[in-house]
Amino acid sequence: MADVEMKPVEEKKAEEGKKEESKEQSPAPLTPVAEIKANVALIERAVSTLEPRFTHRVLRTLGALRKKLSDAVLRDAISEVYTTESQTKKTLLGWLPPAPAADQSMDVDSAPPPKQSPPEPVPESEVYFRLLILHHFLTSQNTYKQAMDLAHDTIERMQSLSRRSMDPIAAKVWYAVERTYELSGQLADARPLFLAAQRTASLRHDDETQASLINRLLRSYIQYSLYDQADKLVSKTTFPTSAGNPQFARYHYYLGRIKAVQLNYTAAHTNLQQAIRRAPPAKTAPGFYQAVHKLSVVVDLLMGEIPERSLFRQPVLEKALSGYFEIVKAVRMGSLSQFQSTLSKYASVFEQDKTYTLIVRLRQNVIKTGIRRLSLSYSRISLRDICVKLHLDSEEDAEYIVGKAIRDGVIEGRIVHEKGWMECGGQKGGYGPEVSDVFSRRISYCLELHNQSVKAMRYPLNAHRKELAAAEGAREREKELAKELQEGGDLDDEGPDLGEGF
């Protein structure tokens, strides 16, 4: 699960990053150092113009940039950005291993002593550098320890600086912090840290950090199967509505998982649908796409619906969902034996996806489908035959099970106990009050959709002015016309004659 969750957004970022690069930057690919420098400049601009847009642009390239990082690149970038010798520069360089001697001498030679010290870069750039170094540390196992130290140091630095323009970067830093803890296998220990930070973030209305942190926490709870706590967290927090789509997709995925465990399948279904809609396209984030679909297939089945066949033909899902496809087939056939054999065959896969317990719950659905098929094909069938066909253990069981199915409204029928058979009632007529209920529900959904989309439409800011001006103009013309008419009336009194003449 671990990786699946991580991939989507990263890869999305990578993709976007690439697009952006090819679009915006010069045709010749920039060196990583130059790219970092450009990014720092953008951050400066974002801070000076109070436009978080530029920071977002920088962060989108993070995924692509991360793969090109190395000690040397980071060192060069830092020494080029921080031209003056300062405390910040020293601490930043302190995290990196010292450069080989030759390298350093070159650096010293090439960087001319600054004539007039330019202003120190903004603290946002410093945190950005720390983020880059952190990601760089996480690429190799040897530096996890350092990464942990740096993570703590960065958090302290961020909190002591407490600048609102830093929020988008801070949200990314928290992600890196979680990754650090997870890779060193101490995800549970990070929880108090996240909880405290989440409180602060929500007090400061720092939406991005808050969204990121709520997801971090949910993930950590669900990783350790603490569904109770996760549920409480969800009920006590409000997910910021301004959060980005990737965060929303994750949030809905976690919600769907919690709801599914709590047997609230309808809510789980809605959440998973949202997650699928908000997730980046399948090609860019296959991991997330597959994980959501796995869960969604199981929830669909638990709701008594059969997922569409075409879903399993999608190239991204075909292989990953093969086990689930077998389960769907078994449920559709209502065959308990096939269900059991599939379950044991793919047990380890389901266990890994954390869907095993959910799939075990499907057993009753298999039986229900089986009974429904029988009731459709026979008008009268003995309990013994039901028992044989559904692979139940005894006739006694069959009687209870059929009784329950009738009570739950799965089938229409009666049991005749003395003769030991089940009589199936005819299908209900397709017309009645319930039809109009369904109809009005669907229509109201359509109307709701229409109204929502009307509300969501954007109108250009000054459009109404134009209209106003037009109206004003029309009024003006009318006035003139009236005036002219009046004046005309004054001038020639033989108006009516003229009219006749025409």
Chain contacts with another protein (rule: CB under 8 A): 225-228, 231, 261-264, 347-348, 350-351, 354, 356-357, 360-361, 363-364, 367, 392-394, 396-397, 399-407, 413-415, 417-418, 432-433, 436, 440, 443, 447, 450
Give CA–CA dist 69/65, Å, rounded: 7
Judge residue 51's burial from the number of C-beta atoms within 10 Å of its C-beta, 0-12 exposed, 13-18 middle, 19 or more buried.
Answer: middle
Task: For another protein, give the closer residue by CB, 433 or 460.
Answer: 433
DSSP states along 376-414: HH-SEEEHHHHHHHTT-S-HHHHHHHHHHHHHTTSS-EE
Backbone angles phi, psi at 81, to 5 degrees: -75, -45
Task: For another protein, give the closer residue by CB, 21 or 395.
Answer: 395
Q: In whole angstroms, how close is the CB of 319 to another protein at the nearest point?
A: 22
Task: For another protein, give the closer residue by CB, 328 or 401.
Answer: 401
Contacts of 179 (CB under 8 A, 6+ apart): 6, 138
Q: In whole angstroms, how close is the CB of 413 to another protein at the nearest point?
A: 8
Task: For another protein, give the closer residue by CB, 56 or 361.
Answer: 361
Task: For another protein, give the closer residue by CB, 77 or 392.
Answer: 392
Q: In whole angstroms, how close is the CB of 245 to another protein at the nearest point?
A: 28
Q: In whole angstroms, how close is the CB of 406 to another protein at the nearest point?
A: 4
Residue 270 three-state SS? helix
Q: In whole angstroms, how close is the CB of 426 to another protein at the nearest point?
A: 14
What type of residue sits at position 144?
Y
Residue 25 three-state SS? coil
What the block records as the tokens of 198 is 């989440």
Q: In whole angstroms, how close is the CB of 226 to another protein at the nearest point?
A: 6
Give CA–CA dist 176/443, Å, rounded: 46
Question: What DSSP character marks residue 162?
Answer: -
Task: For another protein, give the closer residue by CB, 227 or 378.
Answer: 227
Q: How many CA atoms lie within 13 A of 463 on its CB side?
A: 4
Task: For another protein, give the closer residue by CB, 417 or 479.
Answer: 417
Task: For another protein, give the closer residue by CB, 9 or 255.
Answer: 255
Give CA–CA dist 264/234, Å, rounded: 15
Give CA–CA dist 74/59, Å, rounded: 17
Angle, helices 167-183/123-137, rounded to nearest 10 degrees: 20
Q: In whole angstroms, how close is the CB of 416 to another protein at the nearest point?
A: 8
Side by side, the strands of the sheet bearing 421-424 are 380-382, 421-424, 413-416
What the block records as the tokens of 112 is 């001319």
b/e per residue, 397-432, with b = 16+ CB within 10 A? ebbebbeebbeeebbebebeeeeebbebeeeeeeee
Task: For another protein, give the closer residue by CB, 70 or 436.
Answer: 436
Q: In whole angstroms, how close is the CB of 262 to another protein at the nearest point?
A: 5
Q: In whole angstroms, how close is the CB of 326 to another protein at the nearest point?
A: 17
Give CA–CA dist 260/296, Å, rounded: 10
